[in-house]
Structures are given as structure tokens and as C-alpha cells.
Structure 1
Amino acid sequence: MKLSDYKIPSGKNINLKDYKCSEGKKEDNDYIRENIIPPLVEKLKELHLKLHAEEKNGIMVVLQAIDAAGKDEAISYIFSNLNAQGLKVTTYGKPSETEEKHDYLWRLHDGEPERGQIAILNRSHYEDVIATRIHDLLEDGDAEIEKRYRQINNYEQYLSENGFSVVKFFFNMSKDEQKERFLERMKDPDKQWEFSFSDVEERKKWDDYQQVFEDMLNNTSTQHSPWYILPADDEWHTRRIITEAMIHVLKGIDPKFPEISGEDKKKLDEYIKGLENE
């Protein structure tokens, strides 16, 4: 598998329809889950532990998708395996009254990672160039969206230049697959809590969403903060891509366990000797 097949090249305009929602991997779900994912997660855990111990860099992970595309499941099955002390998850919904009194990026700061952390944004600042456009919430329309694209790119570059990598995943799900997932939720009493009537109402705007997603991806996939387009109909194949992309980012950071030296090393040796002689 080549990660470059899913990564949007910086400066290149793409057509979202050229990216598959499925690569026929659904039938391989069991094999991928049982044989491919576990060693990848172990590698991710190893690198994440070094990142957490070193406390020099952080990673902000953006998960963006239409309803039922699999963001929550990706968090549950992959990131929940990581060291909880070096992980934070923030879910962004409709802005609160307090948040609306600030600039649109203000509420994002609490979700940013500390050095040594991976911070996952379940939805994100990109809602401010998606939902605002779908529901026509901005007075200046297209001009305001163009300005926000620039501001978001600058913000993510600022994070990157200060030691915080930004990696973004777009879950590209088909309309038929969303229908099946909605029906599964609606018919299963144990899953009905996941369903919202507004989900079906938003589905009526499917074509509008696809156009907005494509424009967003083309304007905000940068060299420092790339987007990956995931074939979200294939659940476990999607989780594999996310895991491999995260490993790639961490290898680029190359975190290492801190080494004790100087006076601290001497003191450590003394304590070791003291305990051994008890």
C-alpha cells in the first residue's frame, strides 16, 4: 500500500470523484483487523511513547467527514490503544454562545496538543468552512471562505513551525454506504442513541456537501499540513491507512527516549547501587 495514493499533493487541484469510496476491501475486514492492524498499532504505540517521553513535539490529528463515516470508530479502535497520558480527544459541535462571541478559531485552542501529546479533533475548525457554507451563515459568502482558507493554512503552518505537526483525514464515504449505516443505527435499539434526525435532513444536501468538501480539500491541503482521503466504505482498510499515516508522521519527527547524563547519571548509579546492596 502506498500512502501517496491517498495524500493530496500540495498545490494540486483534485476531483473528489476520482477518489474511491471503496477499494473492495470490506470483504478483507477480518484479515486486516486480526493480522495487519495489531503490529501497526504496536509500532504506533512505541513511537507515541517516545513522543510522550521526549516532550519536544506534538501532533494534531483532524478527522473530518459527513455523518456515519467512521470517525468515532477510528478513535475507538486505533487511538484508544495509545498511552492515555499522551492523548487527548476533543469533539467540536455547534458553537456555544460563549464561543460565538470570539473569533472562530478561539475554541480550537483547548483542543491543541501539548508537547508530547497527540490531540485528536473529532470535527474541527473545518466546520467553519463547511457548515457555514452549507447553511449560508456568512454575510460575505465566498469572499469570507477564501479568507478563512488563508487563515487556517497560516494557523496550521504556525503550529508546524513551532513543533506541532498537523495531519488531516477526510473520510470519503458513498451515499449508499451512509444509507446502510443509518438504517443499521435506526433499526438496532442498541445503536439508536447514535442516530439524530438531523442526520437525515443533512443527507438531503449530499451534493452540496461533496462540492464544499472538494473545495476545502483543494484549498487547505498543504505541504506542512496535508489531507489524506480515505476510502471510508472499507472500515478496516481506512483504519489501516490512518495508522500507517500516523506512523509516517512520527517517524518524520523521530522521537527518542531522554537520556540521563552528567550529575543525574552519577546520582542514578548511586541509587541503583544502594538498592542492589539493601
Structure 2
Amino acid sequence: MAKNPELDDFRVPYIDEGKKAAKFALSDFDPGVKPFSTGSKDGDRDRLAAIGAQLNNLQERLHAQRVRRVLLVLQGMDTSGKDGTIRAVFRDVDPLGLHIVPFKAPSVIEAAHDFLWRVHAQAPAAGELTIFNRSHYEDVLVPRVLREIDADECARRYRQIREFEALLVDSGTTIIKCMLHISKDEQRRRLQARIDDPTKHWKFDVADLDARKLWDRYQGAYQDALAATSTDYAPWYVIPADSKTHRNVMVGELLLRAFEGLKLEYPPAKDSLKGLKIE
């Protein structure tokens, strides 16, 4: 890792299925590193507070303009911190224009349609910042790990995802995709903490242990999915997530950079309101 890392050092290269030029290995990314940390938890929290204040201002402009759209996709193994990231990064952001979508297993009606049917309905509207807590990627990761789809179907879904995200981008959506990369040891500690604390039992699901037994399969599925769908218009970033505060700062930095790139301004003042006095 470079001494002065950049956010794009953690960007996944797109592996063109016809050329196979780029190389990507999820194991090359250490989930325990903290390259964007200030050096202390308090310092990281201060930096996150500053990011939150900036995001609040920029998101207000996004909502006021009602032209552009922003989509943040959060994926990761159980306990990687999707909920915690949302709470921390958006703590100071006005909920007006903020839309959070937690994707669960598809319902009977949803499963009767194509796998992107339920997702498109949740895509951000003009002026919205939408956060997917899990996403359409669940419908290629889980069935692959459970061997419910074969390699050909997997490749088809990768292609359909790329085309779906291209449609969103062409319609004015900026997409930021973050894979919260946690180590198996850190997951064990977090799961055990939920078991040991009676007030956290509601967060524990025995099914998490079933997924943990398939850890290597999931890592392989993530590696392939990220490589096949990290495009120039909708890139993936691997977020070292063993440190919660570092994870939050890095996601915040990525989102802030994306917002600043939009060059958002408030809508022009209305001439009809000039000099208007309320009696």
C-alpha cells in the first residue's frame, strides 16, 4: 500500500469478460488497515462530523435542484456494519430527500418477477439520495453460494446489473458502491458480542452462523461479482471495515467526493419573490 493512499487505491478494476486484462483479488485488501484514519477514534469522529456537515449542505442543494440523483450501495458479510455506517455517516444529514432501502429476501410476488423488478422501483428519484442496505447484488451472491444458479445464469445477471446501472447513470444518477470488507476473526468477535450481551440478542440470527460456514464461498462470490460489475460509471470500492470508525470515515469521504463532483448549486432566485413582504 502506498504511504499516502488515495481513495482510488481501493477501487476495484473492471475485468472485461472478453479481454480479462485487469486483475483483482479480494484477499489483496487487508480488512484491518486504517489508511484514512486520523490516528485516533476521537479524531475520526471529529472528521466524520465535519464530513456530515458538508454532506448535509450538499444534499440540501441536491434536493432543492431535483435534477440529479445519488445512489449509495452498501454490501458486506454479516456484522460488517451496514446499519452502523448509515447511522454514523448520515447522523447530521437532513432526512428530507434521504431514502434508505433495506433489502431482504424477495417476497413471493417479487420472486415471481425478474430479480431487478423490485430494485428499480427503489432507485432514487430526482433530488434524492438513496442508500441500499444490501441490494440487487444479493440476488447474484446468495444464489451462487447456495448453488441455486449456474455459471451461465451468474454471467447473465452480471451483464443485466451492468446494463441496469448504466440506465440509472444515463438518467442522471451517480452510483457509489462500497463493499464493507471485514475479516473472519472480527466477524467472530462481533457475533460473540451479540450473544454475550442480552440487549443485543435481537440482532443475532442463527442463520448468520450458516453463512459463516460458507465464508470462503462468499469471499469468492464477492470477488467475482465486484470484478464483473465495477465499471467506470458505477465503480466498486473495497472498504477495510475491521475498524468501525475508519469504515465510517472512508465511506463518508467517498460520498463527499462524489457530491462535490456534481457541482451542486441552489436553484436560481425567483424574480417573482423579489421585494415581496409578508403582512
TM class by smaller structure: over 0.9
For residue 31 of structure 1, report the CA deviation from its aligned partner. Answer: 2.3
- Say which of 244, 248, 254 aligns to 1:245: 254
Structure 2 counterparts to residues 19-98 of structure 1, below 5 A: 19-23=29-33, 28-33=40-45, 35-98=46-109
Counterpart secondary structure, 1:81: coil
Name the amino acid aligned to 2:43: Y
CA deviation vs aligned residue, 1:217-249 (integer Å, no higher than 9, x gap): 110100000101000101111111111111111
In structure 1, runs of 5+ residues without a counterpart are none
Does 2:176 align with 1:167? yes
For 2:165 and 2:228, the matched residues in 1 are separated by 13
Deviation at 1:85, TM superposition (A): 1.5
Q: SS at 1:254's partner residue?
A: coil
Q: CA deviation at 1:83?
A: 1.7
Let me know the Cα RMSD of the aligned residues: 1.5
Which of 127, 130, 146 in structure 1 is aligned with 2:155? 146
Q: Which moved more, 1:1-10 or 1:206-215?
A: 1-10
Show the counterpart of 2:236. 227
Greater gyration radius: 1
1:71 CA drift (Å): 0.4
Per-residue deviation, residues 111-147 of structure 1 (Å, max 9, x unmatched):
2111111111111000111001011122xx0000001
Structure 1 counterpart of 2:19? none
Aligned to 1:7: 11
- 3-state SS of 1:121 partner: strand
1:17 aligns with 2:11: no
Residue in structure 2 matched with residue 133 of structure 1 by the alignment = 144
SS at match of 1:131: helix
- TM-score where L is the length of structure 1: 0.92
- Specify the SS of the correspondent of 1:85: coil
Taking only the aligned residue pairs, the percentage that are identical comes to 34
Distance 1:270 1:217 in 2: 55
> What TM-score, normalized by structure 2, do the two folds share?
0.92
User: Could you report, residue by residue, the CA deviation over 1:155-179 in whole angstroms, capped at 9, with x for unpaired residues?
Assistant: 1011001101111000110000000
Question: Are the aligned partners of 1:26 and 1:233 in contact in 2 as well (CA < 8 Å)?
Answer: no
User: How many Å apart are 1:22 and its aligned residue?
Assistant: 1.0
| Aligned partner of residue 74 in structure 2, secondary structure | strand
